[in-house]
Amino acid sequence: MCWPAEKLLQETGSCVAVRLWLLNRGLETRSALKIKKHHQHSKGGVSQCHGGCSEVDSMTEAVAGEGFLLGCISCKRREEVSARATVDWHFKPPGEEEFRHIFHYDHPSADILHEDFSDRLEWHGTQDSDIQTGAIYIHNVTFNDTGTYLCEIHRTILLSQYDEHVTVEKEVELSVVAVATREMTAVVAEIMMYVLIVVLQLWLIVTLVYCYKKISEEHEAREARKALKAQAELLESKDNCDGVQIE
């Protein structure tokens, strides 16, 4: 799973760095891989990175003129069992009943099969014959790309006694909009950020006022003590003068 990031792992020794690298690659999918760090108790204590698969639904809203990643993840039940898989993508526009076969991937070859998507589809899935992530990237999305996408992963599980064939299907209902609509979580997060900024500013103002009053009160008290001390010294001086005159 971690083959593309071996060099990064060797340089940084950090599986967190590898994960960020993966997420910033075609796996901005939000996706797929959870990175865990294990220490091998062999020569040199070499760090190894092992991938764990997590099935996450694809995003469903694309913006016209931009790119969009169609996610399709199908995890094996047992990672240690070898398998081989191919992926097919189909598309059905609104109002139609039949799917059109638009893309086929059989490692390492990727074929675009429909003229409407010519030069616009790119494989962003697993770079291996043991496919678990079958994502494709659509370049220059148009409103005609609105519709239902069907992802089929045809997996052959290579068992010791026989091969088992499994087909997994996942559908994505894609809508294309002119301007991206913000997610509710993003809106709430922004509101909370501004509320927090206002609260902190108010707290800072209250703290400054309190400190100013405290310093002012201490200054007035100090001045009052000085005045009392000066008055006491003046009275003592006057008493001494009176004593000298009496003598």
pLDDT digits (tens, 9 = 90+) for 18-54: 444 454 444 433 333 444 434 343 344 444 555 567 8
CA distance 234 to 228: 10
Is omega for the bond preceding 94 within 30 degrees of 0, making it cis?
no
Is the pTM higher than 0.85?
A: no
CA distance 131 to 46: 27
Predicted local distance difference test score (pLDDT) of residue 239: 65
Q: What is the dihedral of CA 21, 11, 15, 20, to 10 degrees?
A: -20
Query: Torsion-angle region of residue 45: left (phi > 0), alpha (psi -120 to 50) or beta?
Result: left
Predicted local distance difference test score (pLDDT) of residue 53: 79
C-beta of residue 60 within 8 angstroms of C-beta of residue 149 = no
- Looking only at the bridges linking them, the beta strands covering 147-158 and 83-92 are antiparallel
Predicted local distance difference test score (pLDDT) of residue 35: 40
Which parts of the chain register pLDDT below 70? 1-52, 238-247
CA distance 88 to 144: 20
Q: How far is CA 57 from the centre of its chain?
A: 15
First to last CA, the chain: 109
Predicted local distance difference test score (pLDDT) of residue 240: 65
Predicted local distance difference test score (pLDDT) of residue 70: 95
CA distance 191 to 197: 10
Q: Which of 1, 110, 6, 15 is nearest to 51 (CA)?
A: 1
Which runs of consecutive H residues, i.e. helices, occur in the chain? Answer: 6-12, 15-24, 184-246
Predicted local distance difference test score (pLDDT) of residue 178: 92
Render pLDDT for 181-206 as a digit per residue (tens, 0 to 9): 777 788 888 899 999 999 999 999 99
